[in-house]
Amino acid sequence: MPRTPQEVFESLDFLPDPTPAAHDSDYYANFSMVYNKLTTDEHQPSKKITATGTERGPSGLYINTKVREFIICNECSKVRCLFSGRQLTEQDGLEIQHAIEN
């Protein structure tokens, strides 16, 4: 396989690092906004520190067939999934709706 000549390689533009959007740090800036701009790698997903010590259930619980309800988070407005290892009873459903409304 032939190698790219050094002068061609040096003239290539590389993809910019992920950069948060100015209007919302939960989103990345558009490619056209950061292309050919100096960026840093501090916002790369692999460089972010993940939360530790969070309470988690068994890994087999978090599969799509165990989703019982969808909830909109009041803090971030993202859709969250309510998982359950068993099918919810009618009483369970009523209690969940009551908890969501209050």
The model's confidence at residue 90, banded by pLDDT at 50, 70 and 90, is very high
* DSSP for residue 6: H
Residue 91 predicted with pLDDT over 90? yes
Give the pairing of strands 67-72 and 79-83. Answer: antiparallel
Q: Where are the domains of the chain?
A: 1-48, 52-102
**In the block, which residue shows the tokens 């790698």?**
41
The predicted model scores a pTM of: 0.41
Percentage of the residues of the chain whose pLDDT score is greater than 90: 7
**In the block, which residue shows the tokens 């619980």?**
61
Question: What is 60-88 written as a DSSP string?
Answer: GG-SGGGEEEEEE-TTT--EEEEE-SSPP
Q: Is 47 helix (H, G, I), strand (E, B) or coil?
A: helix
pLDDT in tens, 38-80: 888 888 877 777 666 666 777 777 888 889 888 888 888 899 9
